[in-house]
Chain A
Amino acid sequence: MRAGRLAFLVGAARGLLRREPPPDAAYAEDAVDPREYDATPHPRAEVGVAALLALGGLLCAAFAVLVVAHPDTQLLGATLAAGLGCVGAALALASKRVVPQEVHVEEREPVPPQVDEALAAEARAGGEGISRRRVIAGAAGLAGCGLLGALAVPITALGPNLDGAPDRTPWRRGRYLVDPDGERLRAADIAIGSFHNVLPEGDPRALEELGAPVVLVRVDPRSLDLPPERRTWAPEGILAFSQICTHAGCAVTLFRYPVSEETSKPPALVCPCHYSTFDVRRAAKPVFGPAVRALPQLPLAVDGQGFLVAGGPLSGSVGPSWLDVRQSEGGA
């Protein structure tokens, strides 16, 4: 029995690896002369072509009138498409029924090898009488490198180096958090299970800076699981993170907050681009999706009047990773 199965496997493998047999006889060179010529007139087709051309012309003219008089997109599209279609159909019909139908034969003209030999010889002749070939070749190589450099380097004028930019954000200790209308946020106004889009106060260019947008959420403070050095960063369970996804840079605008966590999912921020999911209670650690780095966290404090203020800079580099990006403290 085992030998039979083995034989089957061997046979299947052989079948798979079998080399292709040569093309069959049906492809052998055919000596039949395929040329044809048929100039029979088809008067009805000719009338048809004329009618289609006329109709097409009228429809295109109608389109031109509509552009000036009543440029409704659907009407314009319908008339122009119908006009073009009629003229196109007329030409197609003409090509198949009106003009002479011909099958013609052309012989191919491959490039004769003697030409290439002559070409190579011609090129070589250009070097007759040159004595110091290697010196000239070396110098030419130097010139080439220099020229290439001269052509390529101006590209660097296109822009500044990123050097440290993802770590230079407008957030620093004492910067107030404001909503999109510019109003400061009170800690007492942040309900558990809500999320807020936040910007740094007094920054007119906030929406031109990747580090500026922050998302604020509030969870039950007893459920927090932050690393020890961040215990004070989330007063009353209010958490703030950079809103720019650390995978590819989209804005993280989905906040998942369950009514009943035990029969559904834990609270998380989710990015709509590739569904990277960040567990907010564990400092936005990624728990699903392609993101590797946690969202940088903004330490929060509450001032004397109850307003939310940043307690320091963001915990890590904002946005998509590159070489110099360090892992967020306590992140993935």
Chain B
Amino acid sequence: MSRDADAVRWVDERLGAGRLVKRALRYVFPEHWSFLLGEVALYSFVFLLLSGTFLALFFAPDISSREIYDGPFRELAGMEVTPAYRSALDLSSVVPGGLLLRQAHHWAANVFVAAMIMHLLRVFFTGAFRRPREVVWILGVVLLGLGIFEGFAGYSLPDDLLSGMGLAIAYGVAMSLPLVGGPFAGLVWGGEYPGPGVIESRLYILHVFVVPLVMAAVIGLHLALVARHHHTQFPGRGRRESNTVGNPLWPGYALRSVGLLLLVSAVLVALGGLVQINPVWQWGPYEINRSTNGAQPDWYLGWLIGALRLTPEVEVRLGDLTLVPNPFWGGVAFPTFVFATALAWPFLERRLSRDRGAHHLLDRPRDRPWRTAFGVAFLGWVVLVFYAGAADRVFYALQISYEGQVLVYRWLVLVVPVVLFVVTKVACDELRRSGARPARGGPPVAVIRRPDGGFEVRPPGD
């Protein structure tokens, strides 16, 4: 046997995976740039695991005591800080490469959620979630939810002013769960807020161990199922429901994929070194009687601050008891509704469209006007609430009254989705009717000069 075959034989005899690997090497990946968005999310997650491991070796998840700061950040000299905040400061100053990795880790979290959302939108608008891939879709939506929680937990750990305010609000939202809110919040915080400090170690163990483990398992299942069903693909030359056409894994796709991993990492490292994010030494340490103007959560929770700010002062009371406190509507009901709709969508669509067949060929968004219109309207609704959360900075920049914006937004969130739905549906129908391809510069046409001097546009070959 040749030397290559010897080497392979050595490994295969011990691992017994030869046949599986042989098939895997010829596994086909259909080609389209939008199919790489899920990989961008995956590689951001890998980067988060690696950079997070480094950070975890230095971070001290303890907010139950205070010490006087005497480190390199002169603007904090003499302040009382918790060990958690202190270790975040040290990572940002004393540890070589610490600030680079802290920032890259935080940028990676922002990019991870953004990539998941872009990937989800691609899957939704092309109908890749249909039978037999409903479970893959559900796992993906679960990953999005876990990723958002994970990001919140992560940036709440350093106990700085901004994230401390966020945790206080989380307590208020937890308290707002009808009937069980008080005991539940008391459970999680170990008593009334701020509690004896156990929230820090609990968030820590969730953030560095439990949730990454669960996410890794869910990602594994997600990918295994994708491979089991094989990828979906756009219709085209030789592409049928019964096959997949594209690049084999080896050598082209493997190289491209590893290249993408490195390029995503390059972007994250570049951001981590060159663009400042979450400068905890500028926010200062958190105390329960401190707050700052302009405090915001990370962008992927902006929809919740918008919802909390827009909700009118409504509570449900029964006699002297508060059944549904105000933060419930924006902080619990709204995100639950959005996620529940997302999770249920494959089954909703099956029922509404009466199409129960298996699909492996993707749709052009225009070919499913109802789905596309609903998706645009729903997304527009969530994005509008998200924008409302930044209305105070808009007021600061453009002088548009804050109270006025709140009132207008309350009406916009009802009206704009309807308008978006109608406009999108009409646009889809029109595009299908005319056969135009606006994104590709339109169909080929011939421009002919008329005898009277004017111009005429005709399809070629006429």
Contact = CB atoms under 8 A, between A and B. Distances in A.
Same complex for A and B? Answer yes
Interface of A: 15-16, 18, 20, 23-24, 26-27, 29-35, 67-68, 71, 73-78, 80-85, 87-92, 94-96, 99-108, 110, 155-156, 158-162, 165-166, 197, 199, 207-210, 212-213, 243-244, 247-254, 271-275, 286, 288-292, 319-327, 332
A292 B314 contact: yes
Contacts of A209: 192
Given A88-B260, A248-B168, A273-B291, A95 B255 contact: yes
B263 A159 contact: no
Contacts of A158: 187-188, 190, 198, 202
Contact of B263 (A68, A89, A250): A89
Contacts of B365: none
B289 A243 contact: yes
Contact of A29 (B165, B171, B240, B326): B240
Contact of A247 (B172, B288, B432): B172
A272 B104 CA distance: 29
A87 B75 CA distance: 40
A31 B104 CA distance: 49
A31 B26 CA distance: 22
A11 B268 CA distance: 53
B240 A321 contact: no
B236 A249 contact: no
Contacts of B168: 248-251
B265 interface: yes
A289 B313 contact: yes
Give the residue among B26, B198, B256, B312 with the most A Cβ atoms within 10 A. B256
A290 B165 contact: no
A103 B245 CA distance: 7
B40 to A, nearest CB: 12
B122 interface: no
B290 interface: yes
Contacts of B302: none
A77 B275 CA distance: 10
Given A84-B269, A248-B172, A207 B289 contact: yes
Contact of B291 (A33, A272, A290): A272
Nearest to A165: B192
24 contacts: A30-B237, A71-B96, A78-B273, A81-B267, A90-B259, A104-B247, A158-B187, A159-B189, A160-B186, A160-B190, A207-B289, A213-B288, A250-B168, A251-B291, A272-B291, A273-B305, A274-B309, A289-B313, A290-B308, A290-B330, A320-B327, A321-B315, A321-B325, A327-B320
B320 A326 contact: yes
A104 B193 contact: no
A99 B235 contact: no
Interface residues of B, number: 115
A73 B60 CA distance: 22
Contacts of B173: 248
B97 A76 contact: yes
B273 A325 contact: no
B293 A275 contact: no
Sort A-B residue pairs by CB-CB distance and give the 5 closest, nearest first.
A77-B273, A248-B172, A34-B238, A88-B262, A91-B259
A20 B369 contact: yes
B321 interface: yes
Nearest to A87: B262
A248 B308 contact: yes
B422 interface: yes
B403 interface: yes
Given A160-B190, A273-B291, A323 B240 contact: no
Contacts of A85: 262-263, 266, 270
B262 A324 contact: no
Given A272-B292, A322-B175, A323-B182, A104 B190 contact: no
B394 to A, nearest CB: 13
A81 B266 contact: yes
Interface in B189-224: 189-196, 198, 202
Contact of A249 (B169, B195, B229, B369): B169
B323 interface: yes
B259 A249 contact: no
B322 A325 contact: yes
Given A162-B182, A250-B165, A74 B273 contact: yes
Nearest to B183: A161
Given A99-B252, A165-B186, A107 B242 contact: yes
Nearest to A155: B187
A277 to B, nearest CB: 9
Contacts of B198: 158-159
Given A20-B368, A251-B290, A320-B325, A95 B171 contact: no
Contacts of B340: none
B295 A80 contact: no
Contacts of B403: 288
Given A20-B368, A160-B186, A290 B326 contact: yes
A32 to B, nearest CB: 5
A91 B258 CA distance: 7
A70 to B, nearest CB: 9
Interface string B423-441: 0010001001000000000
B100 to A, nearest CB: 5
A318 to B, nearest CB: 9
Contacts of B191: 159-160, 162, 165
Interface in B42-95: none
Nearest to A33: B238
Given A159-B195, A289-B313, A273 B165 contact: yes
Contacts of A91: 255-256, 258-259, 262
A87 B422 CA distance: 47
B154 interface: no
B176 A77 contact: no
B299 interface: no
Contacts of B432: 24
Nearest to A99: B251
Contact of B261 (A23, A80, A88, A95): A88
Nearest to B329: A290
Given A273-B165, A274-B308, 17 more contacts: A73-B273, A78-B274, A81-B273, A84-B262, A88-B258, A96-B252, A99-B251, A105-B243, A110-B358, A162-B191, A209-B192, A247-B327, A248-B327, A253-B291, A290-B312, A320-B176, A322-B182
